[in-house]
Amino acid sequence: MHSSNAQRAYYKYLAPTMAVIFLLTVVPIIVTVVLSLTSLSYRSANPSRFIGIQNYVRLFSDERFLNSIPISIILIVVPVAAQLILGFIIAVIMKEKLPGMGWLRLLFVAPMVLPPIVMGLMWRILFTPQLGGVNYLLSLVGITGPNWLSDPTYALLAVIMAAVWGWTPFVGLMFLTSMQSFPVDIYEAAVIDGASWTKSVRYITLPLLRPTIFVVGVFRVIEALAIFPIIFILTNGGPAGATETVNFYGYVSGFNFLRIGYASAIMVFFFMMLLLITAPSVGFLLRNQQMER
């Protein structure tokens, strides 16, 4: 059954699927690279022509583009760090199986499946003065809330808060699932040695969780890099570009300004950023448990 010939018999079940997926992903990526070397614009009457790397050269004197790079980095680092820390705390709490807290795990499902556009809309409502509850809650503790979405710093903070709300449950659930597979006898040995609860979290749970933290972190970073619907509806990249990420600017260049060639160059840059970030983790992905049978 496991001879080479027998294995080959399975190819015809795999090949059509791989062919379709390959066609649908590799062709568009090649098209993007080709477009990025042209002057294609749906707004200009000039025919599209090959202009080499001019679009890329122009990128680095485009202040709006240069401004979007640090925004992308902030919107990766801050929310993902917050999600990992908060997710860890929540997972530790749920692992304790406190009586009467089982409902918390059920609640996690809602943010995980919520349409991102609805999530963004929800926070848009919450941050709108009068209508939303954020400033009302702040006023209860004596703070006069800012005008969230029209102040550059607070708008960025608003996007961060929405991202933390939306993806901490995913992180927490991944951590919890991993923690449940930890061997019980290590904790029992800790009890015999007289370790305190905080020490057991610090010196047993955290080190054992490290590989999972890494993998989940990579997943989150990739998705955080591609954050779009929340920004689209919450701030639309504003005010004054304060929440405009690289991919958001790529979208605006392509679909608002209709400069397809230039926008393609931005997307290629975005893709390179992605590869740069994920390359170190490929070895880890190869060690995935599903890779062997």
Partner 1 sequence: MVQRSKWITVLLYLIGIGYGVSIILPLAWVVMLSLKTQLDAFAYPPLFIFKPTFEHYAAIFHDDVFVLAIRNSLIIALSSVFLSLLLAVPATFAIANLTGRRRRLPLLTILLIRMAPGMIYLLPYFAIYNRLKLLDTHIGLIIIYLIFNVPLIIWMLLPVWNSIPRELEEAAVIDGATLWQVLVRVDIPLVRIGIIASGILAFIFSWNEFLFALVVTRRETITLPVAIVRYMAYEGTEWGKISAAAVFIMVPVVIFGFLIRRYMISGLSAGAVKG
Binders of partner 1 among residues 136 to 155 (CB under 8 A) are: 136
Q: Phi then psi for 38, rounded to 5 degrees?
A: -120, 170
Tell me, by CB under 8 A, how many residues bind partner 1: 107
Binding mask 234-273 for partner 1 (x = CB under 8 A): -------------x--xx--xx----x--xx--x--xx--
Tokens of 24: 């649908």
- For the bound state, the minimum distance from the C-beta of residue 42 to partner 1, rounded and expressed in Å, comes to 8
Among 212, 239, 241, 277, binds partner 1 (CB under 8 A): 212
Distances (CA, A) of 18 to 25, 36, 271, 289: 11, 27, 22, 21
- Looking at beta carbons only, is 30 or 240 nearer to partner 1? 30
Task: Phi first, then psi: give them for residue 50, nearest 5 degrees.
Answer: -75, 125
- Asked if 289 touches partner 1 (CB under 8 A), the answer is yes
Instruction: Tell me the closest approach of the beta carbon of residue 160 to partner 1, in angstroms.
Output: 15
% helix, strand, coil for the chain, step of 5: 75, 0, 25
- Residue 43 contacts by C-beta under 8 Å, 6 or more apart in sequence? 257, 258, 259
* Contact positions with partner 1 (CB under 8 A) in 79-138: 86, 89-90, 92-94, 96, 98, 101, 103-104, 106-118, 121-126, 130-133, 136
Query: How far apart, in Å, are the Cα atoms of 79 and each of 36, 75, 198?
Result: 31, 6, 25
Q: Tell me which amino acid residue 30 is.
A: I
Binding residues among 150-209 for partner 1 as defined by CB under 8 A:
165, 169-170, 173-174, 177-178, 181, 187, 190-191, 195-198, 200
